[in-house]
Protein backbone atom coordinates (compact mmCIF):
# COMPACT_ATOMS: atom_id res chain seq x y z
CA UNK A 1 0.00 0.00 0.00
CA UNK A 2 1.08 3.56 -0.56
CA UNK A 3 2.36 5.38 2.46
CA UNK A 4 1.28 8.99 2.73
CA UNK A 5 2.98 11.65 4.78
CA UNK A 6 0.76 12.52 7.71
CA UNK A 7 -0.87 15.91 7.13
CA UNK A 8 -1.46 18.16 10.06
CA UNK A 9 -3.61 21.16 10.79
CA UNK A 10 -6.39 22.40 8.54
CA UNK A 11 -5.18 25.31 6.44
CA UNK A 12 -6.30 27.59 3.67
CA UNK A 13 -3.04 28.00 1.77
CA UNK A 14 -1.34 24.84 0.55
CA UNK A 15 1.37 24.02 -1.93
CA UNK A 16 3.08 21.04 -3.47
CA UNK A 17 5.89 19.35 -1.57
CA UNK A 18 8.73 20.83 -3.62
CA UNK A 19 7.35 24.36 -3.12
CA UNK A 20 6.96 24.16 0.68
CA UNK A 21 9.49 25.10 3.28
CA UNK A 22 10.21 22.70 6.13
CA UNK A 23 7.91 24.77 8.34
CA UNK A 24 5.00 24.06 6.03
CA UNK A 25 5.44 20.31 5.66
CA UNK A 26 2.71 19.51 8.16
CA UNK A 27 0.17 21.33 6.01
CA UNK A 28 0.33 18.94 3.08
CA UNK A 29 -0.25 15.37 2.20
CA UNK A 30 2.71 14.53 -0.03
CA UNK A 31 2.95 11.84 -2.68
CA UNK A 32 5.59 9.20 -2.36
CA UNK A 33 5.73 8.78 -6.13
CA UNK A 34 5.82 11.07 -9.15
CA UNK A 35 8.56 13.44 -10.24
CA UNK A 36 9.58 16.75 -8.71
CA UNK A 37 7.87 18.73 -11.47
CA UNK A 38 4.52 17.33 -10.38
CA UNK A 39 4.96 18.79 -6.93
CA UNK A 40 5.88 22.31 -8.02
CA UNK A 41 2.32 23.60 -8.27
CA UNK A 42 1.26 26.05 -5.58
CA UNK A 43 -2.39 26.60 -4.67
CA UNK A 44 -3.21 29.68 -2.61
CA UNK A 45 -6.60 31.18 -1.75
CA UNK A 46 -7.75 34.42 -3.34
CA UNK A 47 -11.23 35.84 -2.66
CA UNK A 48 -14.40 34.18 -1.45
CA UNK A 49 -18.00 35.25 -2.00
CA UNK A 50 -20.57 34.12 0.55
CA UNK A 51 -24.27 34.42 -0.25
CA UNK A 52 -25.75 37.04 2.02
CA UNK A 53 -27.74 36.39 4.11
CA UNK A 54 -26.11 33.03 4.79
CA UNK A 55 -28.27 30.03 3.92
CA UNK A 56 -27.27 26.51 4.85
CA UNK A 57 -27.71 23.40 2.70
CA UNK A 58 -29.98 25.07 0.14
CA UNK A 59 -27.81 24.91 -2.98
CA UNK A 60 -26.97 28.61 -2.92
CA UNK A 61 -23.77 28.15 -4.96
CA UNK A 62 -23.77 25.19 -7.32
CA UNK A 63 -22.66 25.27 -10.95
CA UNK A 64 -20.09 27.93 -11.86
CA UNK A 65 -19.14 29.33 -15.27
CA UNK A 66 -16.50 31.96 -16.06
CA UNK A 67 -16.70 34.78 -18.60
CA UNK A 68 -13.14 35.80 -19.52
CA UNK A 69 -14.25 38.84 -21.51
CA UNK A 70 -16.23 40.40 -18.67
CA UNK A 71 -14.19 38.81 -15.85
CA UNK A 72 -17.34 37.52 -14.21
CA UNK A 73 -18.50 34.31 -12.64
CA UNK A 74 -22.04 33.03 -13.14
CA UNK A 75 -23.18 30.91 -10.20
CA UNK A 76 -26.37 28.85 -10.02
CA UNK A 77 -28.20 29.74 -6.80
CA UNK A 78 -30.96 27.17 -6.39
CA UNK A 79 -32.10 28.67 -3.11
CA UNK A 80 -32.97 32.00 -4.73
CA UNK A 81 -33.83 30.37 -8.09
CA UNK A 82 -31.35 32.70 -9.74
CA UNK A 83 -28.00 32.74 -11.49
CA UNK A 84 -25.85 35.13 -9.47
CA UNK A 85 -23.34 37.29 -11.36
CA UNK A 86 -20.05 37.92 -9.56
CA UNK A 87 -17.51 40.51 -10.65
CA UNK A 88 -14.08 38.91 -10.12
CA UNK A 89 -11.96 41.55 -11.84
CA UNK A 90 -10.36 41.84 -8.41
CA UNK A 91 -10.04 38.14 -7.56
CA UNK A 92 -9.35 38.96 -3.92
CA UNK A 93 -12.70 40.71 -3.60
CA UNK A 94 -15.44 39.04 -5.68
CA UNK A 95 -18.67 41.04 -5.60
CA UNK A 96 -22.22 40.21 -6.65
CA UNK A 97 -23.36 42.73 -9.24
CA UNK A 98 -26.54 41.17 -10.66
CA UNK A 99 -28.80 38.11 -10.71
CA UNK A 100 -30.68 36.39 -13.53
CA UNK A 101 -34.16 35.34 -12.40
CA UNK A 102 -34.72 31.72 -13.48
CA UNK A 103 -38.12 31.50 -11.79
CA UNK A 104 -39.56 33.66 -14.55
CA UNK A 105 -38.87 30.83 -17.03
CA UNK A 106 -39.64 27.66 -15.07
CA UNK A 107 -38.97 25.98 -11.77
CA UNK A 108 -35.24 26.57 -11.27
CA UNK A 109 -31.88 26.85 -12.98
CA UNK A 110 -29.79 23.70 -13.04
CA UNK A 111 -26.76 24.75 -15.06
CA UNK A 112 -25.09 27.76 -16.66
CA UNK A 113 -22.49 28.31 -19.38
CA UNK A 114 -21.14 31.42 -21.11
CA UNK A 115 -19.49 32.03 -24.49
CA UNK A 116 -19.34 34.69 -27.18
CA UNK A 117 -21.18 37.27 -25.08
CA UNK A 118 -24.09 34.92 -24.35
CA UNK A 119 -25.12 33.28 -21.07
CA UNK A 120 -27.00 29.98 -21.48
CA UNK A 121 -29.08 28.69 -18.57
CA UNK A 122 -30.71 25.25 -18.27
CA UNK A 123 -34.12 25.61 -16.60
CA UNK A 124 -36.36 22.72 -15.63
CA UNK A 125 -40.14 22.91 -15.99
CA UNK A 126 -42.48 23.27 -13.02
CA UNK A 127 -43.41 19.65 -13.77
CA UNK A 128 -39.99 17.99 -13.55
CA UNK A 129 -41.05 15.26 -16.01
CA UNK A 130 -42.04 17.80 -18.68
CA UNK A 131 -39.70 19.34 -21.23
CA UNK A 132 -37.50 22.12 -19.95
CA UNK A 133 -35.70 24.89 -21.78
CA UNK A 134 -32.39 26.57 -22.41
CA UNK A 135 -32.67 30.34 -22.10
CA UNK A 136 -30.13 32.79 -23.53
CA UNK A 137 -29.14 36.12 -22.00
CA UNK A 138 -26.77 38.92 -22.92
CA UNK A 139 -23.58 38.86 -20.87
CA UNK A 140 -23.50 42.66 -20.77
CA UNK A 141 -26.96 43.65 -19.53
CA UNK A 142 -28.51 40.17 -18.85
CA UNK A 143 -31.47 40.87 -21.09
CA UNK A 144 -33.16 37.79 -22.52
CA UNK A 145 -32.11 37.00 -26.09
CA UNK A 146 -34.23 33.91 -26.71
CA UNK A 147 -34.93 30.34 -25.65
CA UNK A 148 -35.12 26.78 -26.90
CA UNK A 149 -37.24 23.86 -25.74
CA UNK A 150 -35.19 20.83 -24.77
CA UNK A 151 -35.91 17.49 -23.09
CA UNK A 152 -37.11 16.60 -19.60
CA UNK A 153 -35.07 17.86 -16.66
CA UNK A 154 -32.18 19.66 -18.39
CA UNK A 155 -29.49 19.09 -15.78
CA UNK A 156 -26.35 20.39 -17.49
CA UNK A 157 -25.43 22.41 -20.54
CA UNK A 158 -22.24 23.49 -22.28
CA UNK A 159 -21.13 25.38 -25.37
CA UNK A 160 -19.07 23.74 -28.07
CA UNK A 161 -15.56 25.26 -28.21
CA UNK A 162 -16.43 27.62 -31.10
CA UNK A 163 -19.57 28.86 -29.33
CA UNK A 164 -21.85 27.89 -32.24
CA UNK A 165 -23.82 25.23 -30.40
CA UNK A 166 -25.14 24.47 -26.95
CA UNK A 167 -25.41 20.87 -25.80
CA UNK A 168 -27.89 19.98 -23.07
CA UNK A 169 -27.99 16.81 -20.96
CA UNK A 170 -31.67 16.09 -20.27
CA UNK A 171 -31.68 13.68 -17.36
CA UNK A 172 -35.31 12.62 -17.64
CA UNK A 173 -35.71 11.38 -14.06
CA UNK A 174 -38.93 9.54 -13.16
CA UNK A 175 -41.58 10.77 -10.75
CA UNK A 176 -41.42 9.44 -7.19
CA UNK A 177 -44.28 7.03 -7.89
CA UNK A 178 -42.54 5.93 -11.13
CA UNK A 179 -45.75 6.46 -13.04
CA UNK A 180 -44.02 8.94 -15.32
CA UNK A 181 -40.53 8.07 -16.52
CA UNK A 182 -39.56 10.40 -19.39
CA UNK A 183 -36.77 9.52 -21.78
CA UNK A 184 -33.30 10.84 -21.21
CA UNK A 185 -31.85 12.77 -24.14
CA UNK A 186 -29.20 15.13 -25.49
CA UNK A 187 -30.37 18.39 -27.10
CA UNK A 188 -28.10 20.04 -29.67
CA UNK A 189 -28.98 23.73 -30.12
CA UNK A 190 -27.58 25.39 -33.24
CA UNK A 191 -27.22 29.13 -32.68
CA UNK A 192 -26.27 29.96 -36.26
CA UNK A 193 -29.71 31.39 -37.02
CA UNK A 194 -29.84 33.58 -33.94
CA UNK A 195 -31.11 33.21 -30.40
CA UNK A 196 -34.80 33.99 -30.84
CA UNK A 197 -35.58 30.86 -32.85
CA UNK A 198 -32.56 28.56 -32.62
CA UNK A 199 -32.58 25.17 -34.32
CA UNK A 200 -32.90 22.29 -31.85
CA UNK A 201 -32.20 18.62 -32.47
CA UNK A 202 -32.94 16.39 -29.50
CA UNK A 203 -31.17 13.04 -29.68
CA UNK A 204 -32.85 10.15 -27.88
CA UNK A 205 -31.76 6.62 -27.04
CA UNK A 206 -34.62 4.78 -28.73
CA UNK A 207 -32.20 3.14 -31.14
CA UNK A 208 -30.85 1.13 -28.19
CA UNK A 209 -34.23 -0.24 -27.08
CA UNK A 210 -33.80 -3.50 -28.97
CA UNK A 211 -30.34 -4.02 -27.50
CA UNK A 212 -31.30 -4.03 -23.83
CA UNK A 213 -30.17 -7.57 -23.05
CA UNK A 214 -26.88 -7.21 -24.91
CA UNK A 215 -26.19 -3.94 -23.10
CA UNK A 216 -26.93 -5.51 -19.73
CA UNK A 217 -24.66 -8.44 -20.55
CA UNK A 218 -21.90 -5.97 -21.38
CA UNK A 219 -22.30 -4.29 -17.98
CA UNK A 220 -24.62 -1.36 -18.71
CA UNK A 221 -27.17 -1.02 -15.91
CA UNK A 222 -30.76 -0.91 -17.21
CA UNK A 223 -33.01 -1.58 -14.26
CA UNK A 224 -35.79 0.99 -13.76
CA UNK A 225 -39.22 -0.65 -13.29
CA UNK A 226 -40.65 -1.30 -16.75
CA UNK A 227 -38.16 1.10 -18.34
CA UNK A 228 -36.79 0.84 -21.85
CA UNK A 229 -33.14 1.86 -22.34
CA UNK A 230 -34.39 5.17 -23.73
CA UNK A 231 -36.21 5.83 -20.46
CA UNK A 232 -33.53 4.34 -18.23
CA UNK A 233 -30.55 6.27 -19.58
CA UNK A 234 -30.19 9.51 -17.63
CA UNK A 235 -27.51 11.83 -19.10
CA UNK A 236 -25.77 13.62 -16.26
CA UNK A 237 -22.88 15.61 -17.70
CA UNK A 238 -21.41 16.37 -21.14
CA UNK A 239 -17.81 16.80 -22.26
CA UNK A 240 -16.91 18.03 -25.76
CA UNK A 241 -13.85 17.40 -27.92
CA UNK A 242 -11.57 20.34 -28.70
CA UNK A 243 -12.64 20.34 -32.36
CA UNK A 244 -16.36 20.21 -31.51
CA UNK A 245 -17.03 17.06 -33.55
CA UNK A 246 -17.55 14.61 -30.70
CA UNK A 247 -19.13 14.67 -27.25
CA UNK A 248 -19.55 12.23 -24.40
CA UNK A 249 -22.25 12.08 -21.73
CA UNK A 250 -22.00 10.35 -18.38
CA UNK A 251 -24.93 8.04 -17.67
CA UNK A 252 -24.32 7.91 -13.94
CA UNK A 253 -26.96 5.49 -12.69
CA UNK A 254 -26.28 3.25 -15.69
CA UNK A 255 -22.51 3.11 -15.04
CA UNK A 256 -21.86 4.01 -18.66
CA UNK A 257 -20.74 6.69 -21.11
CA UNK A 258 -22.70 7.71 -24.22
CA UNK A 259 -20.74 8.66 -27.34
CA UNK A 260 -22.24 11.47 -29.47
CA UNK A 261 -21.27 12.27 -33.08
CA UNK A 262 -21.91 16.00 -33.47
CA UNK A 263 -21.40 15.91 -37.24
CA UNK A 264 -23.93 13.15 -37.84
CA UNK A 265 -26.10 14.34 -34.90
CA UNK A 266 -26.39 10.84 -33.50
CA UNK A 267 -25.73 8.96 -30.28
CA UNK A 268 -23.50 6.26 -31.69
CA UNK A 269 -22.65 4.11 -28.68
CA UNK A 270 -23.21 3.43 -25.01
CA UNK A 271 -20.06 2.14 -23.34
CA UNK A 272 -20.08 0.27 -20.01
CA UNK A 273 -17.48 1.36 -17.46
CA UNK A 274 -17.01 -1.96 -15.69
CA UNK A 275 -16.46 -2.48 -12.00
CA UNK A 276 -13.65 -1.78 -9.57
CA UNK A 277 -12.44 -4.68 -7.44
CA UNK A 278 -12.12 -3.46 -3.87
CA UNK A 279 -10.53 -6.77 -2.84
CA UNK A 280 -7.34 -5.78 -4.68
CA UNK A 281 -4.55 -4.13 -2.69
CA UNK A 282 -4.50 -0.38 -3.39
CA UNK A 283 -8.20 -0.36 -4.35
CA UNK A 284 -9.71 -0.77 -0.91
CA UNK A 285 -12.35 1.31 0.85
CA UNK A 286 -13.44 2.11 4.37
CA UNK A 287 -16.89 0.44 4.41
CA UNK A 288 -17.95 1.23 7.99
CA UNK A 289 -18.72 4.25 10.15
CA UNK A 290 -17.98 2.20 13.25
CA UNK A 291 -14.21 1.97 13.03
CA UNK A 292 -12.82 5.41 12.28
CA UNK A 293 -10.12 5.66 9.62
CA UNK A 294 -9.65 2.13 8.30
CA UNK A 295 -9.19 1.71 4.55
CA UNK A 296 -8.87 -1.95 3.65
CA UNK A 297 -9.56 -4.53 0.98
CA UNK A 298 -13.08 -5.96 1.03
CA UNK A 299 -14.99 -8.50 -1.14
CA UNK A 300 -16.98 -5.81 -2.93
CA UNK A 301 -17.11 -4.45 -6.47
CA UNK A 302 -17.51 -0.71 -7.01
CA UNK A 303 -19.63 0.80 -9.79
CA UNK A 304 -17.71 3.82 -11.16
CA UNK A 305 -20.85 5.87 -11.87
CA UNK A 306 -19.19 9.20 -12.70
CA UNK A 307 -20.94 12.51 -12.28
CA UNK A 308 -18.76 15.24 -13.82
CA UNK A 309 -16.53 14.35 -16.77
CA UNK A 310 -14.00 16.42 -18.71
CA UNK A 311 -12.40 15.82 -22.10
CA UNK A 312 -8.79 16.51 -23.05
CA UNK A 313 -6.24 15.49 -25.65
CA UNK A 314 -2.71 14.26 -25.24
CA UNK A 315 -0.35 13.16 -28.02
CA UNK A 316 -3.21 13.16 -30.50
CA UNK A 317 -5.48 10.91 -28.42
CA UNK A 318 -8.71 11.88 -26.69
CA UNK A 319 -9.26 11.07 -23.03
CA UNK A 320 -11.93 11.59 -20.40
CA UNK A 321 -11.49 12.49 -16.77
CA UNK A 322 -14.26 11.07 -14.59
CA UNK A 323 -15.21 11.91 -11.00
CA UNK A 324 -16.51 8.57 -9.75
CA UNK A 325 -19.16 9.74 -7.30
CA UNK A 326 -21.79 6.99 -7.45
CA UNK A 327 -25.55 7.37 -7.21
CA UNK A 328 -28.50 5.14 -6.28
CA UNK A 329 -32.06 5.26 -7.52
CA UNK A 330 -34.13 5.84 -4.42
CA UNK A 331 -37.78 6.74 -5.07
CA UNK A 332 -41.01 6.22 -3.17
CA UNK A 333 -42.08 3.45 -5.55
CA UNK A 334 -38.66 1.92 -6.15
CA UNK A 335 -35.37 1.87 -4.31
CA UNK A 336 -32.33 -0.24 -5.14
CA UNK A 337 -30.38 0.75 -2.04
CA UNK A 338 -29.87 -1.88 0.66
CA UNK A 339 -27.45 -2.58 3.53
CA UNK A 340 -25.21 -5.63 3.22
CA UNK A 341 -26.50 -6.90 6.58
CA UNK A 342 -30.02 -7.10 5.15
CA UNK A 343 -29.06 -9.41 2.28
CA UNK A 344 -28.97 -13.20 2.19
CA UNK A 345 -25.39 -14.05 1.22
CA UNK A 346 -24.37 -17.19 -0.64
CA UNK A 347 -22.38 -19.38 1.78
CA UNK A 348 -20.00 -20.58 -0.92
CA UNK A 349 -19.13 -17.04 -2.03
CA UNK A 350 -19.14 -15.69 1.54
CA UNK A 351 -18.23 -18.47 4.00
CA UNK A 352 -17.66 -15.79 6.66
CA UNK A 353 -20.99 -14.08 5.99
CA UNK A 354 -21.92 -13.60 9.64
CA UNK A 355 -18.69 -11.74 10.40
CA UNK A 356 -18.92 -9.71 7.18
CA UNK A 357 -22.42 -8.54 8.02
CA UNK A 358 -21.41 -7.00 11.35
CA UNK A 359 -21.66 -3.19 11.39
CA UNK A 360 -17.92 -2.79 11.90
CA UNK A 361 -17.28 -4.92 8.80
CA UNK A 362 -19.64 -4.54 5.81
CA UNK A 363 -23.00 -4.59 7.57
CA UNK A 364 -23.97 -0.96 6.96
CA UNK A 365 -22.37 -0.60 3.53
CA UNK A 366 -24.89 0.58 0.93
CA UNK A 367 -25.04 -1.72 -2.10
CA UNK A 368 -27.49 -2.30 -4.93
CA UNK A 369 -30.13 -5.00 -4.88
CA UNK A 370 -30.23 -5.03 -8.70
CA UNK A 371 -26.93 -6.87 -9.26
CA UNK A 372 -25.28 -9.95 -7.78
CA UNK A 373 -28.33 -12.17 -7.16
CA UNK A 374 -27.76 -15.85 -7.98
CA UNK A 375 -31.33 -16.63 -9.00
CA UNK A 376 -31.72 -18.80 -5.89
CA UNK A 377 -34.03 -17.74 -3.07
CA UNK A 378 -34.12 -18.49 0.63
CA UNK A 379 -36.99 -20.39 2.22
CA UNK A 380 -38.50 -16.98 2.98
CA UNK A 381 -38.36 -16.01 -0.68
CA UNK A 382 -35.41 -13.61 -0.36
CA UNK A 383 -32.87 -13.51 -3.21
CA UNK A 384 -29.41 -14.89 -2.44
CA UNK A 385 -26.36 -12.81 -3.46
CA UNK A 386 -22.90 -14.04 -4.39
CA UNK A 387 -21.50 -10.63 -5.42
CA UNK A 388 -21.82 -7.22 -3.79
CA UNK A 389 -21.85 -3.98 -5.81
CA UNK A 390 -21.30 -0.65 -4.02
CA UNK A 391 -21.95 2.85 -5.39
CA UNK A 392 -19.11 4.88 -6.85
CA UNK A 393 -15.41 4.09 -6.98
CA UNK A 394 -14.25 6.80 -4.50
CA UNK A 395 -11.67 7.90 -7.07
CA UNK A 396 -11.03 9.67 -10.34
CA UNK A 397 -10.22 7.87 -13.56
CA UNK A 398 -8.70 8.55 -16.94
CA UNK A 399 -10.30 6.68 -19.85
CA UNK A 400 -9.86 6.59 -23.59
CA UNK A 401 -12.74 8.71 -24.78
CA UNK A 402 -14.47 6.60 -27.41
CA UNK A 403 -13.76 3.13 -26.07
CA UNK A 404 -14.10 4.02 -22.36
CA UNK A 405 -11.05 1.82 -21.76
CA UNK A 406 -9.60 2.48 -18.32
CA UNK A 407 -6.12 4.00 -18.50
CA UNK A 408 -5.71 5.04 -14.85
CA UNK A 409 -7.64 5.03 -11.60
CA UNK A 410 -6.56 6.70 -8.37
CA UNK A 411 -7.35 3.57 -6.36
CA UNK A 412 -7.89 4.25 -2.67
CA UNK A 413 -5.87 7.49 -2.67
CA UNK A 414 -8.74 9.77 -1.71
CA UNK A 415 -9.69 8.05 1.53
CA UNK A 416 -6.05 7.50 2.47
CA UNK A 417 -5.14 11.15 1.84
CA UNK A 418 -8.12 12.55 3.76
CA UNK A 419 -7.77 9.92 6.48
CA UNK A 420 -4.11 10.71 7.05
CA UNK A 421 -4.99 14.38 7.41
CA UNK A 422 -8.09 14.09 9.59
CA UNK A 423 -7.78 10.69 11.25
CA UNK A 424 -11.06 9.33 12.62
CA UNK A 425 -12.71 12.70 11.86
CA UNK A 426 -12.57 12.01 8.12
CA UNK A 427 -15.41 10.96 5.80
CA UNK A 428 -17.68 13.57 7.33
CA UNK A 429 -20.92 14.44 5.67
CA UNK A 430 -20.99 17.95 4.23
CA UNK A 431 -23.70 19.12 6.64
CA UNK A 432 -22.21 18.03 9.96
CA UNK A 433 -18.90 17.63 11.75
CA UNK A 434 -19.61 14.34 13.49
CA UNK A 435 -16.76 12.39 11.87
CA UNK A 436 -16.80 9.18 9.81
CA UNK A 437 -20.44 9.37 8.83
CA UNK A 438 -20.07 8.55 5.12
CA UNK A 439 -17.72 5.56 5.03
CA UNK A 440 -20.66 3.19 4.58
CA UNK A 441 -22.13 5.30 1.76
CA UNK A 442 -19.78 6.35 -1.06
CA UNK A 443 -17.14 7.83 1.23
CA UNK A 444 -15.85 11.27 0.18
CA UNK A 445 -17.94 11.30 -3.05
CA UNK A 446 -15.75 12.83 -5.75
CA UNK A 447 -18.22 14.92 -7.77
CA UNK A 448 -16.56 17.88 -9.49
CA UNK A 449 -13.63 17.60 -11.89
CA UNK A 450 -11.71 19.99 -14.13
CA UNK A 451 -8.77 19.77 -16.51
CA UNK A 452 -6.16 22.47 -16.86
CA UNK A 453 -2.77 23.11 -18.42
CA UNK A 454 -0.14 25.27 -16.72
CA UNK A 455 3.06 25.85 -18.65
CA UNK A 456 4.09 22.42 -19.89
CA UNK A 457 2.11 20.37 -17.36
CA UNK A 458 -1.44 18.98 -17.34
CA UNK A 459 -3.51 18.77 -14.17
CA UNK A 460 -6.73 17.27 -12.88
CA UNK A 461 -8.65 19.01 -10.07
CA UNK A 462 -11.17 16.82 -8.23
CA UNK A 463 -13.71 18.11 -5.69
CA UNK A 464 -14.97 15.92 -2.83
CA UNK A 465 -18.65 16.60 -2.22
CA UNK A 466 -18.83 15.19 1.31
CA UNK A 467 -15.43 15.70 2.97
CA UNK A 468 -14.91 18.92 1.05
CA UNK A 469 -11.95 20.48 -0.68
CA UNK A 470 -10.23 19.34 -3.84
CA UNK A 471 -7.26 17.21 -4.84
CA UNK A 472 -4.74 18.04 -7.53
CA UNK A 473 -3.00 15.46 -9.72
CA UNK A 474 -0.35 16.02 -12.34
CA UNK A 475 -1.60 13.99 -15.33
CA UNK A 476 1.10 14.96 -17.81
CA UNK A 477 1.68 11.22 -18.15
CA UNK A 478 -1.83 9.73 -18.34
CA UNK A 479 -0.53 6.28 -17.45
CA UNK A 480 1.21 7.48 -14.27
CA UNK A 481 -0.47 10.54 -12.73
CA UNK A 482 1.16 11.97 -9.62
CA UNK A 483 -0.70 13.32 -6.61
CA UNK A 484 0.28 16.93 -5.94
CA UNK A 485 -1.79 18.28 -3.05
CA UNK A 486 -5.12 18.36 -1.24
CA UNK A 487 -6.75 21.70 -0.41
CA UNK A 488 -9.58 22.00 2.10
CA UNK A 489 -10.48 25.08 4.15
CA UNK A 490 -13.14 23.24 6.16
CA UNK A 491 -13.05 23.80 9.93
CA UNK A 492 -14.08 20.60 11.69
CA UNK A 493 -14.37 22.41 15.02
CA UNK A 494 -17.03 24.85 13.80
CA UNK A 495 -20.78 24.36 13.53
CA UNK A 496 -21.56 24.01 9.79
CA UNK A 497 -24.94 25.68 10.24
CA UNK A 498 -23.29 28.77 11.70
CA UNK A 499 -21.58 29.73 8.47
CA UNK A 500 -18.13 29.60 10.09
CA UNK A 501 -17.04 26.11 8.99
CA UNK A 502 -15.53 27.16 5.67
CA UNK A 503 -16.51 25.82 2.26
CA UNK A 504 -18.86 22.83 2.30
CA UNK A 505 -20.01 20.61 -0.56
CA UNK A 506 -17.99 21.54 -3.67
CA UNK A 507 -20.40 21.02 -6.56
CA UNK A 508 -18.36 22.39 -9.45
CA UNK A 509 -14.81 23.42 -10.29
CA UNK A 510 -13.76 25.71 -13.13
CA UNK A 511 -10.16 26.03 -14.31
CA UNK A 512 -9.28 29.50 -15.57
CA UNK A 513 -6.25 29.52 -17.86
CA UNK A 514 -3.54 32.16 -17.44
CA UNK A 515 -4.54 33.85 -20.70
CA UNK A 516 -8.16 34.21 -19.52
CA UNK A 517 -7.51 35.03 -15.90
CA UNK A 518 -8.83 38.15 -14.15
CA UNK A 519 -5.22 38.43 -12.98
CA UNK A 520 -3.37 38.21 -16.31
CA UNK A 521 -0.72 35.50 -16.37
CA UNK A 522 -2.02 33.74 -13.25
CA UNK A 523 -4.17 30.63 -13.74
CA UNK A 524 -6.95 30.22 -11.21
CA UNK A 525 -9.65 27.87 -9.96
CA UNK A 526 -13.22 28.81 -9.09
CA UNK A 527 -15.11 26.44 -6.80
CA UNK A 528 -18.86 26.54 -6.13
CA UNK A 529 -19.87 25.06 -2.77
CA UNK A 530 -23.55 24.17 -2.53
CA UNK A 531 -23.90 23.53 1.21
CA UNK A 532 -22.12 26.67 2.43
CA UNK A 533 -23.40 28.81 -0.46
CA UNK A 534 -19.90 30.09 -1.14
CA UNK A 535 -17.77 30.58 -4.24
CA UNK A 536 -14.00 30.60 -3.71
CA UNK A 537 -11.12 31.54 -6.01
CA UNK A 538 -7.63 30.06 -5.84
CA UNK A 539 -4.42 31.15 -7.52
CA UNK A 540 -2.33 28.47 -9.18
CA UNK A 541 1.40 28.86 -9.72
CA UNK A 542 4.43 26.94 -10.88
CA UNK A 543 7.53 27.47 -8.76
Mean pLDDT of the residues in the chain: 93
Quickly name the fold that domain 14-327+392-542 has.
Methylamine Dehydrogenase; Chain H (2.130.10)
pLDDT, residue 542, reads: 85
More confident residue, 12 or 146: 146
Q: For the segment 37-84, what is each residue's pLDDT rounded down to a tens digit? A: 556 899 999 999 999 999 999 999 999 999 999 999 999 999 999 999
pLDDT confidence band for 29 (50 / 70 / 90): very low
pLDDT, residue 38, reads: 59
| Averaged pLDDT for residues 249-254 | 98
Cβ atoms of 473 and 410 closer than 8 Å: yes
pLDDT, residue 234, reads: 98
Whether the predicted pLDDT of 135 surpasses 70: yes
Q: For the segment 346-377, what is each residue's pLDDT rounded down to a tens digit? A: 999 999 999 999 999 999 999 999 999 999 99
Whether the predicted pLDDT of 26 surpasses 60: no
| Averaged pLDDT for residues 201-212 | 98
Q: What is the Cα–Cα distance from 130 to 149, expressed in whole angstroms?
A: 10
More confident residue, 64 or 4: 64
- Domain ranges in the chain? 14-327+392-542
pLDDT, residue 24, reads: 36
pLDDT, residue 7, reads: 29
| Averaged pLDDT for residues 180-197 | 95
| Averaged pLDDT for residues 338-343 | 98
| Averaged pLDDT for residues 128-138 | 98
Q: Read out DSSP for 283-310? A: S-B---SSSSS--B--S-EEE---S-EE
Helix (H, G, I), strand (E, B) or coil at 26: helix
pLDDT confidence band for 197 (50 / 70 / 90): confident
Q: What is the Cα–Cα distance from 62 to 109, expressed in whole angstroms?
A: 10
Whether the predicted pLDDT of 225 surpasses 80: yes
| Averaged pLDDT for residues 444-467 | 97
SS (H, E, C) 179-208: CCCCCCEEEEEECCCCCCCCEEEEEECHHH
pLDDT, residue 37, reads: 59
pLDDT, residue 36, reads: 56
Strand order through the sheet with 199-204: 154-159, 165-170, 185-190, 199-204
Adjacent-strand bridge partners of 234: none
Q: For the segment 140-151, what is each residue's pLDDT rounded down to a tens digit? A: 999 999 999 999
Question: Which of 110, 33, 47, 120 is closest to 483 using CA atoms?
Answer: 33
HSE, side-chain direction, 13 A CA sphere, residue 189: 29
Q: What is the Cα–Cα distance from 512 to 425, expressed in whole angstroms?
A: 32
Greatest distance between any 2 Cα atoms in the chain: 70
Q: For the segment 410-438, what is each residue's pLDDT rounded down to a tens digit? A: 999 999 999 999 999 999 999 999 999 99
Adjacent-strand bridge partners of 347: none
Whether the predicted pLDDT of 522 surpasses 50: yes
Q: What is the pTM of this model?
A: 0.93
pLDDT, residue 40, reads: 86
- Portion of the chain with pLDDT greater than 70, in percent: 93
Whether the predicted pLDDT of 32 surpasses 50: no
Gyration radius (Cα) of the chain, Å: 22
pLDDT, residue 17, reads: 25
Amino acid sequence: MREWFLAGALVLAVCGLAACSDDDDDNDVAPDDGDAAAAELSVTPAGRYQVDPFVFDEGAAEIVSYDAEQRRLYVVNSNARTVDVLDVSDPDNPMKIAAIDASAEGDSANSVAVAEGVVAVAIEADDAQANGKAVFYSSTDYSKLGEAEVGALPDMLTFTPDGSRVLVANEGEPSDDYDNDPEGSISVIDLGGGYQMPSVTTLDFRGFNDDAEALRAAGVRIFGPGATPAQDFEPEYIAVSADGTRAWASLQENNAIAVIDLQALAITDVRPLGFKDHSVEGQGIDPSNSDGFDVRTVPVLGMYQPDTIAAFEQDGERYLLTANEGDARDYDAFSEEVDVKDLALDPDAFPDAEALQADEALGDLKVTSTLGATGVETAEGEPVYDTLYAYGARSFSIRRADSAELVYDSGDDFERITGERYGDAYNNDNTENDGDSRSDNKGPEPEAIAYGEIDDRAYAFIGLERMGGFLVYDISDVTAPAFVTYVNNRDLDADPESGTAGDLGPESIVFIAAADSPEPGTPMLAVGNEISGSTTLYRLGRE
